[in-house]
Structure 1
């Protein structure tokens, strides 16, 4: 921030300014995150790939973390190009994490094992295999990569890649009916050799019929970060049920890689046929419901004025409310309601602050709040749903006793 605006760190971190230091840093971080996102999208990085923690990992794309802020893409290119031919090297101007793509998976593995936790400038390099599909365009293969900027695809190349992708999707749609699984076509295979690969397992079973997919259960390798170890069992999913029955009869207790396999029918549904609950949940959470935003994980030292100053940057506010604790201590409960005048301002604030904005070291978590936020309103709405007339106000017990006593005296 100091380098970008031509000032010093002392001025940015000064406590003498009228604006809160925490708000100042939060707004600066928000701007850097927005610029980094735009940079990654412009360079063909699919950000949605990082939102799936259980997604499969690439074998030729490496995430390079813990880089000094002054690192250049050319420096990363110089380090990794010693191990093989590189595709794309993407490093945001203000980012501390880069993406390095290799043309061959074997070269990427060699670079990963050689450079993980080695010293770069004055910090160790943290390497991690990127999620599959981290790039939205096809991989570039070239023997001459003197300039990382030359790794961009031309418009004609992108059009050609899109055409090929559409042709492949059309072919998949035509064959989809032939590849649908029948119930009872999945097998559970245990006592696998830890060195057995999915390709070897598929080759062992493919003589029994058409295979839909093969997967081996894996766990993280603690000794080698970014790599995985077999857990000794897996799943073979055929297209037809009769193929699975045939495999049980023919291959039960057969030896593969010096291990006698044990096979039985699995009730596990095909992963690809299961609805993506995570994506549906995210879509629901991202859908705007009103002009009101619920902000969680607010640090307890933050004040209402600071929350108001942070969100008012994006538009005019109706109110900011931090519910207080019931103990009488005076501190808030760690969350707030921020209501904007227009939906456009609320959406702008939500889009800017929901990714990675920290206030006093705590990341703010945003979600859309419901328009109805009081118990009385909920009661009235429920009563109006079942009765034509609005719900009557509840009578207190003391008032009811007074009415009864008055009626008794009048009768006497």
Structure 2
């Protein structure tokens, strides 16, 4: 714990005292950079008002460790004949109050002493004149040569001085009507003045949730800035402007938080603190005003909407994560099956909608398998958080190559990773900044759709590619649209061997020097331990090498072992960092489905509900679509009074394994342009039904007298009957 406290208190800014009087900033930078103890981000020597050096300055480094190493190396060393004193300096918030300047104070004391001396030394007998203590009054010249009366001018020159230099075009426009035609000119003028004075743009962080940061190091990246400011709240956007000519940073940045309260708290906590050796200056930023379209814009409505879509690209999401072009799907399947595309979607094709849906299902499953092999976490697709470095490229035509995509995205930034599945209907690009430049751009005969990828999408490591002897032959390009009923048994066996949800822990706040072996040695003694891995990310400065991402994953054989590991390792100090352990998102999708099904009254079973069914769909279409992946016992499609479909259906399979296989396979499928939404149907509770039937029978046979609105018989006791007889 002591090591963690020391690591937390070390700053990245040093104060250097005892500098030579003639030392310059460049010479001081060269002196500290020569030892190669770290990256120097800031050098500043302070001077007096008369230009003389105050003989101390500040040095900023990239990290706290570099500053500590430089302090140990340069403290009590010499530069020339002067011995240096190097100490760690805190930010301006922790600095003591500045002392008053000594020189002006001494100068004021000397002046007061001089005035007192002169007053004492004056002669007491000699008196001055009576008006000597009066202030002189300004003298006004009566006859000025610049007065209008001194210059004679003609009537024409006098009239020319009072004429306007420009003639206003006030010609009346015939047959023109307007809403403000009856308004007086004074009212319109005052209204324009009032509108000009009122500026609706807020300048306070409490209303904008946007901060403007200055004095940043030029080597700072958006990821480092996001990590630093995320400690105060949820950061939604980080933007570092670049110089248009040199393509380098300007030392400025904009940080946007999710709420204005978080932005205000971040400004109060981080303003004046040290970040990578520099003192941050944070002020509220105004929201960017939307660019008003010019009034003389002659483009068509179609062009205006296209420009508006490009400007708002990346802000809203109008498509599914695995959206694919239907034409590209049909072309891909037809090319790989060596058949004509008309056999799938042609007019003579029988039930073309079902064939196209099955083709899309096959390509989606193939794409998901390809992404898993490349280290993509498919569970992140259910998260709402979006990444700033990963872009999903959708609606691309079939036949697009990686070279074409690289040529399209390369001018907008360096590409770290580019994934293009074999089907060629969707792609993933990492680290481009081309959301607004490439969005809705035409590629061949299609228009590109871009969407920000989910956060933490690349959390796994790519699987090794199988060798030629181990790879399965493709069978001459023949592709089966669905594994069907033969694969149900294998799917059921694989489901039993799948990783149990809630058995993996997410460990964050790891030290940068912590490795997977080190993490494995710490968690290896726990019962039920299975694996431990520190997540890596590409090093932008050294291509081909990786860096620690600061977090990792620890797996166990069952949820109970993971729960015990969480309780025992929470807050454990590893390499000077206190670990923050929680359950990972693995299995989150299944948990959400189970919880949603439980809320509806049931869990996974042989029955399911299919929502968002097209109104043109029939029972035959649904039976052909879902029958490929399992044996159907019944298909029910409720209809309205006019015999039209109500937009949902109920399916019942022979076994639960077949229902689960169909659910997992068709959950992302589109049918007739609609995304099919699958949910588990609630199983009937036999005990509850029997109890409800008993209550109903009890109410009808003597126990329902308390029900309102029921006719009741008059009951007369024996005592009352005897009284009536008497």
TM-score normalized by the length of structure 2: 0.32
Q: 1:358-395: CA deviations, max 9, x gaps? A: 2222221111111229xxx68634448xxxx7863986
Judged with a 3 Å threshold, the aligned counterparts in structure 2 of structure 1 residues 161 and 113 are, in CA distance, closer, same or farther, namely farther
Structure richer in helix, relative to its length: 1
Distance, in Å, in 2 between the alignment partners of 1:393 and 1:85 is 76
Match of 2:677 among 349, 356, 365: 365
The offset of 1:346, in angstroms, is 0.9
Per-residue CA deviations over 1:154-193 (Å, capped at 9, x if unaligned) read xxxxxx98547747659997995389xxxxxxxxxxxxxx
1:3 to 294, 318, 335: 335
CA displacement 1:95-130 (0-9 Å, x = unmatched): 43311224xxxxx33x55654454444545444432
Name the residue aligned to 1:310.
Answer: 625
Where 2:678 maps in the other structure, the secondary structure is: strand
The answer (yes or no) to whether the contact 1:294–1:337 under 8 Å persists in 2 is yes
Which residue of structure 1 lines up, in the alignment, with residue 379 of structure 2? 48
Q: Which residue of 1 aligns with 2:45?
A: none
Aligned partner of 1:253 in structure 2 is none
Name the structure, 1 or 2, with higher relative contact order (CA <8 Å, separation 6+). Answer: 1
Between the aligned partners of 1:336 and 1:124, the Cα distance in structure 2 is 34
**Partner of residue 360, structure 2:** 29
Q: Which has the greater radius of gyration?
A: 2
* C-alpha contact 2:610 2:678 (8 A) present in aligned 1: yes
Does the CA contact (< 8 Å) of 1:65 and 1:125 recur in 2? yes
From 647, 656, 661, the counterpart of 1:348: 661
Give the 3 Å change call, closer, same or farther, for CA 364–131 of structure 1 in structure 2: closer
CA distance in 1, matches of 2:348, 2:436: 49
- Alpha carbons of structure 1 residues 85 and 15: separation in structure 2 relative to 1, 3 Å: closer
**What corresponds to 2:612 in structure 1?**
297
Matched with 2:459 is: 136
Whether the 8 Å CA contact 2:604–2:660 is kept in 1: the answer is no
The secondary structure found in structure 1 opposite 2:571 is: helix
Question: 1: CA distance between counterparts of 2:411 and 2:343?
Answer: 42
* Preserved CA contact (<8 Å) 1:36 1:95: no
Equivalent position SS for 1:289: coil
Deviation, structure 1 residue 82? 4.8
The normalised TM-score by structure 1 is: 0.54
Structure 2: unaligned runs, 5 residues or longer: 1-332, 466-513, 520-531, 535-551, 555-564, 702-711, 714-726
3-state secondary structure, aligned to 1:392: helix
CA contact (8 A) 2:383 2:455 kept: no
Task: Give the distance between the partners of 1:341 and 1:367, measured in 2 at CA.
Answer: 17
When structure 1 is superposed on structure 2, of 279-288 and 301-310 the one drifting more is 279-288
**Residue in 1 that maps onto 2:416:** 87
Offset of 1:80 from its aligned partner?
A: 3.4
Is the Cα–Cα contact under 8 Å of residues 386 and 452 in structure 2 kept in the other structure?
Answer: no
Distance in 1 between residues matched to 2:691 and 2:595, nearest whole Å? 24
Give the conservation status (yes or no) of the 8 Å contact 1:57–1:129.
Answer: yes
Aligned 8 A contact 1:57 1:130 in 2: yes
| 71-80 or 121-130, which deviates more | 121-130
Other-structure match for 2:392: 63
* Cα distance, 1:322–1:118 mapped onto 2, change above 3 Å: closer
Secondary structure of 1:94 counterpart = coil
Asked if the contact 2:594–2:604 (Cα under 8 Å) also holds between the matched residues in 1, the reply is no
* Structure 1 pair 88–177 and aligned structure 2 pair: CA distance change class (3 A): same
Residues in 2 aligned to 1:45 and 1:295: alpha-carbon distance in whole angstroms = 28
CA distance in 2, matches of 1:91, 1:161: 31
How many positions carry a matched residue from both structures?
272
User: What are the within-5 Å matches in structure 2 for residues 173-188 of structure 1?
Assistant: 176-177=570-571
CA separation of 1:161 and 1:128: change in aligned 2, threshold 3 A: farther
SS in 2 for 1:177: coil
CA distance in structure 1 between the partners assigned to 2:594 and 2:518 by the alignment: 29
| 1:87, distance to aligned residue in structure 2 (A) | 2.5
2:405 maps to which residue?
76
Residues in 1 aligned to 2:459 and 2:615: alpha-carbon distance in whole angstroms: 41
Alignment of 1:103-182 (within 5 A): 108-109=432-433, 111-112=434-435, 114-137=437-460, 163=517, 166=532, 169=552, 176-177=570-571
How far apart, CA to CA, are the structure 1 residues paired with 2:438 and 2:616?
A: 41
| Residues 73 and 91 in structure 1, CA contact (< 8 A), matched pair in contact too | yes
> Could you tell me how far apart the structure 2 residues matched to 1:344 and 1:82 are?
49
SS of match in other structure, 1:318: strand
Query: 1:298–1:334: 8 Å Cα contact kept in structure 2?
Result: yes
Contact 1:299 1:359 in 2 (8 A): yes
Distance (Å, rounded) in 2 between the aligned partners of 1:113 and 1:331: 43
Cα deviations across residues 51-93 of structure 1 (Å, max 9, x unaligned)? 112x14233x333333222111232234434555432210112
Change (3 A) 1:58 1:293: same
Mapping 1:400-411, distance limit 5 Å: none
